[in-house]
Amino acid sequence: MKTPEPIQPPQRSINMLQGCRSVDEFERMNKIDEGTYGVVYRAKDKKTGIEKAFHLHVKEVVVGSSLDSIFMVMEYMEHDLKGLMETMKQPFSQSEVKCLMMQLLEGVKYLHDNWVLHRDLKTSNILLNNRGELKICDFIIPPVWQPFEALHSFSGYVMVQVAPELLLGAKEYSTAIDMWSLGCIMAELLAKEPLFNGKTEFDQLDKIFRILGTPNEKIWPGFPKLPGVKVNFVKQPYNKLREKFPPTSFSGRPTLSEAGFDLLNKLLTYDPEKRIAAEDALNHEWFREVPLPKSKSFMPTFPAQHAHDRRLRRVMKSPDPLKEQRMKELQQGEIGTGSLFS
């Protein structure tokens, strides 16, 4: 007698967007800003009356009338760190930098603990509200998730935060690329300007090597085998990072204690395998020494810096009647309201 074939369980169809709210539950207000990957609008949750911001690749997923109509939602944030620093006369204080870095590390640790890489951390992708709360936005989400496959195109990228292994064409990458970016952000918060401000991959590597020294097999095992190493780079054997952040300064240059410099050095370690992880960085002694991290509630507040708000303030200074009319239109959200919600 032939043994019957075992009954196969029915194939389950998983709707990845099941449970997502509809975009119709939000009232669109005015346009806030526009970036490479989408347009940001201020919106109001019809149920709660709370203002939020619509943006691609941020926080809460909501859907439109079809599955290819997807939006991301988060609470409205008044600033991004890059725009904020451009208007500041002085850099953030050490205690303020510690407050921001701790929040940033907590966010990145949460991402990494859940197998998520950001891949484009930079000051323009970090938001801050007037309660001192920091949020991470603008994740790079590939069309098809292929874990740990390296980026081969930097089109549209700002070079200042890209890890050297990516610039040198590494075939694989890890959470270490985000930690390198955090090192660049820490330096930028302290100095109010990027540490490495290259315009191309080659230019960025050249600037990195001139400050941190040209790597070799001893300090970065596998370095000579990376595809981009075939290019002739500057031979600079010394790490000059301490010159950028001395223990004391009489010239107004940003300073760092031994503990602070140790953390920055560990974030900007060439070898990805030895680069500090988010959890270890959070537990670093720099955050426990004086000055202690400033409480979020005591962080300074600033006028809103989004593009829409900057335009609005410029218009409000003018007595020109045409500009006054434009101001009214901006306030009513009647200008630049195309794209995602049209």
The residues assigned a catalytic role are: 120
Within a 10 A sphere around the Cβ of 247, how many other Cβ atoms?
11
Cα angle at 245 between 170 and 226, to 5 degrees? 10
Cis peptide bond upstream of 247, omega within 30: no
In what order do the strands lie in the sheet containing 79-80? 79-80, 126-128, 134-136
Q: DSSP secondary-structure letter at 89?
A: S
What's the burial of 312, exposed, middle or buried (CB within 10 Å: 0-12/13-18/19+)? middle
Q: In the Cβ-directed half-sphere of 90, how many Cα atoms lie within 13 Å?
A: 8
Three-state DSSP state, 335 = coil
Q: For the chain, what percentages of helix, strand and coil (3-state, to nearest 5) are there?
A: 35, 15, 50
Q: Sign of dihedral through CA atoms 140, 142, 143, 147? A: negative
Distance CA 260, CA 257 (A): 5
DSSP 207-239: HHHHHH----TTTSTTGGGSGGGGS------S-
Q: How do strand 26-35 and strand 51-55 relate by DSSP bridges?
A: unpaired
C-beta of residue 138 within 8 angstroms of C-beta of residue 120: yes
Tokens 């009232």, residue? 27
Give the tokens for residue 106.
């907590």
Closest C-alpha among 25, 7, 103 to residue 64: 25
